[in-house]
Structure 1
């Protein structure tokens, strides 16, 4: 198996030389002197709600061990991994007004709505700043119907770097593969990568020049577009310096990319790219939006003809359609865990230092008030989180408290996340992270 630490050290050194900065290996990896290891967090957000009856074992109404419990059919694929699972029920997000979706509010812990820009950064972005530095601090991928993914290959609905600053998720695996691995590819992929790199550089220069002639009121907003081109071009350059390292992790491009039969072919490809970005060390923070934070989504590859908003109006417990969707999600979670488990890291594996957060962008169901927001955690982030258990809360703590817990576990002191004292008095009966989930 590959020695990931040595490869990442070489990657860091090459990147530092390309950027002309002092980007030493310990800035990409936790310092070995401190006997610590890199940490990473994955968010998997399913749209249309997450009914607690689809994840809580039968007859389990109070907190306890999962050791002797049998997981419900929708998440049965996680049965062999119960010792790494923590099911949480009773968090709330009433202040986010989720209804069809809380959009940016699902990961931001604030009021969100369709077409409303983010009012603050989201927890996945904040974590990407706290976790060890990587070439691409935060990667977002979105899964939808094939029509939507082709028509809108990028969309921003879930993640944000600040107020009015959405982060786009990638939905076309061909575009994303080309961005991350085009420099090490051959044939048409390499040709397209080089052509786009040239065009993007020209656009950046042209946009910067044109922006200087704009009125001051428009210059700042225009500057965000220019910065976007700079970020993409800079990423291409940095990835080019570590091409030999990336060859060990790049997924194989096959007909699922170029000629998908169903949208689930592209879903699987996107997951493969997300896993490769984690295992290669390109990123430490991955956000997956199944349904892309909206009311759409399709899974024809699972034999499901219904799609979109109608799925949200179906009861999820004992529903064969939702059982298939949740089982598909669970298999994806297993693929994530097994892939990370296969890569040695420190005295264990990458999975030992990873946390996967699975939930929905609109609490427990469609048209919800957010009074109950079920969450599943997989992994323990280097021993920070309790596992192998079910926790039943009383509904008086918001999802913000869980996000504060994630930040604390990642090394950032956080009593509250995106919730001022006035808001906390109304929606949170305590302060600080959730003691029920942390070791």
Structure 2
């Protein structure tokens, strides 16, 4: 008789530190995001542990007393996984696994695991595998701690190091093979981009889980996978879209995130090339998220790193249907904070002075879609006539009947 299998969520605890560069409020934001990452990967969070340090401990990330507190809690409540908010060094990872005797993950490893789950195409799987091997290579020694090689003694000398070196050589060879494979695919994708002709290319960019795929589906009337989890989209999707009678190519790209692992930036080079070679960027922002301004800064930083920050851009503030705030009493004289600023008040802040065209929408229920589509049309049209000045009269903007 077959047993009915149900999805089992791993139980985990989170660990983060307050430092000179990361105050308590910032840590809370990161830990909220880390919990969402853990949920996306398939874990439930039992508890959060935080500690104030001038800098993370070089041996165990947190202090000895905090580590013992975490270890006792994990043992008492039978927790299987401890997740740290920052990337751990190989020695920290080794020491923590030895002292706690449970699975230790850091933010980078967690993100890589989510990418491995989400990768659908051969290309995405190759990119993720390369990133995983690059992360694993300097951390190989932790895999052999159960052999107690470091203690020495009879029967404990020799083979351990030989096996580790053999594994290192195998992984280095695999990394070389994967890099060569990606070069071939990158060349093929570059040729595909050239073969798309001279049509204007528009790329959706933004933080992860801001609604890019939902917006892609609404604009292109396609069925790109969209889900309320982080990194729902890994594979680049390109669709032909027509607004008025002006056609252009719209690309949905992988979402960005704070503390994005360097291994992923390198291995997803071709995906980022779609952004780098776009004519127009549509920067999608989740206006309902408390940290949306930080998300904008993170995306802009990555755009600068890939030399795409000077491209024409449209700012699209999405999820206005989810936006909420705590209305202040009229006699409340305390300064306004992010939590009690209304949407109309937000529109009068720095957003009103932005050098980019700005619109507030709901991709889910298509609120303010005509305004956004006219904005995209105007920008695409401007780029198009600069490329083909002789056929300007061929195009005319009009609203879709269903959205007029």
- Interval of TM-score (by shorter of Structure 1 and Structure 2): under 0.3
TM-score by length of 1: 0.23
Q: Which has the higher contact order (CA 8 A, sep 6+)?
A: 1
Give the structure with higher Rg (CA). 2
TM-score by length of 2: 0.24
